[in-house]
């Protein structure tokens, strides 16, 4: 193992019980031969982090003990394993927060995010990045341009969620797209859909300030689902992407998709919902969920560097490691909040 001087302990915000996070001193994670140790400079707060914090699970992923949350992360490599070139030290990187087995049929087929043995940041018992340091395999630490800020690099993760969803939807030039939910994932999907060539992008959200934000970040128009009759859009859209997880929104919107169109469910809501099976069958709709992403970071980097996707204006709050509990709830306690970011360097010294 080749390294520069690094501490043996670090500060981390640890989820110890539902709705309880504690700032603790914990060991710096150990390196494997193909790993790199990254000093964390910025971590985005995701809705799944909040689900783990409030409810102790996201779908069938259950928190069974203390764990460090946070998976939208970026920083600088400060230590490398024995099989990693020393030249990697000092490289600024965005973390793709998953470690697949690399041997199963999914990994070998390029769908490593579906690996049954994948280890993902913040999914118990794997620790995430609400900490001063984190470890990932070298090729999942993606070098970023010098012009990219740490916050932009951290938010490449939710941009990757959108890239994966838009690829699943097969969005192309002149696609007509409906998106329900104008939170961060909905906004990123709108921007990525436009970058992929969609010419009509309608974003639906009941909150006026979110609709206004979407109108300047990818949407060609917005609608209020409470007052809108979706019948006017019957068989109008090529693609429907849900970023809300709301059962009513999904059922209303499926009716708007043209025969042979795509329905992509991204938002996390109830574990079970009813769907209009007759519509799906008779129109041969291609319905799929999304689970994270695969092979998306190069595209996400290019989209942000080119300006096609704006991440900076989504950031509405910055917090230290001692404020992670507040950051996790900000989207619920502040109606105008969009995206919170945790900056470990902003944590006061003890």
Where do the domains of the chain lie, and which CATH numbers do they carry? Answer: 2-155+311-346 (3.90.180.10), 164-289 (3.40.50.720)
Render pLDDT for 166-211 as a digit per residue (tens, 0 to 9): 999 999 999 999 999 999 999 999 999 999 999 999 999 999 999 9
Looking at residue 4, its pLDDT comes to 52
pLDDT greater than 50 at residue 157: yes
Q: How far apart are CA 167 and CA 171, in angstroms?
A: 7
Residue 319 pLDDT > 60: yes
Report if pTM > 0.85: yes
State pLDDT tens for residues 23-82: 999 999 999 999 999 999 999 999 999 999 998 888 788 899 999 999 999 999 999 999
Residues of the chain with pLDDT > 70: what percent?
99
Q: How far is CA 65 from the centre of its chain?
A: 23
The structure tokens listed for 199 are: 């010419």
pLDDT over 90 for what percent of the chain?
Answer: 92
Burial string for 7-44 (b: 16+ CB within 10 Å, else e) reads: eeebbbbbbeeeeebebbebebbebbebbbbbbbbbbb
Looking at the predicted structure, is the pLDDT value of residue 3 above 50?
A: no
* Rounded distance between C-alpha atoms, residue 350 and residue 347, angstroms: 9
Q: How far apart are CA 344 and CA 329, in angstroms?
A: 18
What is the pLDDT, as a whole number, of residue 5?
A: 67
Question: For position 2, what pLDDT does the model report?
Answer: 47
Sequence length of the chain is: 350
Cβ distance 194 to 219 under 8 Å?
A: no
Coil vs helix vs strand at 159: helix
What is the reported pLDDT for 6?
Answer: 80
Neighbouring C-alpha atoms within 13 Å toward the C-beta of 72: 27
Backbone phi and psi for residue 196, each to the nearest 5 degrees, phi listed first: -80, -10
239 pLDDT above the threshold of 90: yes
């Amino acid at each position: 193992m080749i390294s520069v001087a690094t501490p043996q302990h670090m500060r981390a915000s640890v989820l110890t019980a539902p709705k309880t996070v504690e700032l603790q001193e914990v060991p710096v994670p150990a390196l494997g031969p193909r790993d790199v140790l990254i000093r964390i400079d910025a971590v985005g707060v995701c809705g799944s982090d909040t689900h783990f914090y409030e409810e102790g699970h996201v779908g069938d992923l259950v928190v069974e003990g203390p764990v460090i949350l946070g998976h939208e992360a970026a920083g600088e490599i400060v230590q490398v394993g024995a099989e990693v070139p020393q030249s990697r030290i000092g490289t600024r990187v965005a973390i793709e927060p998953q470690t697949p087995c690399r041997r199963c049929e999914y990994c070998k087929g390029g769908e490593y995010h579906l690996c049954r043995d994948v280890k993902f940041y913040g999914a118990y018992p794997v620790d995430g990045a609400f900490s001063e340091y984190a470890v990932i395999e070298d090729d999942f630490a993606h070098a970023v341009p010098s012009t990219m800020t740490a916050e932009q690099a951290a938010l490449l993760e939710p941009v990757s969620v959108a890239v994966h969803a838009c690829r699943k939807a097969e969005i192309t030039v002149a696609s007509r797209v409906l998106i329900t939910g104008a939170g961060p994932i909905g906004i990123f999907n709108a921007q990525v859909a436009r970058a992929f060539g969609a010419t009509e992008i309608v974003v639906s959200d009941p909150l006026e300030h979110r609709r206004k934000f979407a109108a300047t970040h990818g949407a060609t128009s917005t609608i209020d689902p409470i007052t809108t009759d979706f019948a006017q859009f019957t068989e109008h859209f090529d693609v429907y992407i849900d970023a809300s997880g709301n059962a009513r929104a999904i059922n209303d919107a499926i009716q708007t998709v043209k025969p042979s169109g795509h329905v992509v469910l991204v938002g996390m809501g109830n574990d079970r919902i009813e769907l209009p099976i007759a519509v799906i069958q008779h129109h041969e709709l291609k319905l799929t969920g999304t689970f994270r992403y695969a092979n998306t970071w190069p595209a996400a980097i290019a989209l942000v560097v080119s300006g096609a996707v704006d991440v900076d204006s989504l950031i509405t709050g910055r917090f230290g490691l001692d404020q992670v509990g507040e950051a996790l709830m900000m989207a619920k306690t502040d109606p105008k909040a969009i995206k919170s970011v945790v900056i470990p360097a902003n944590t006061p010294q003890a």
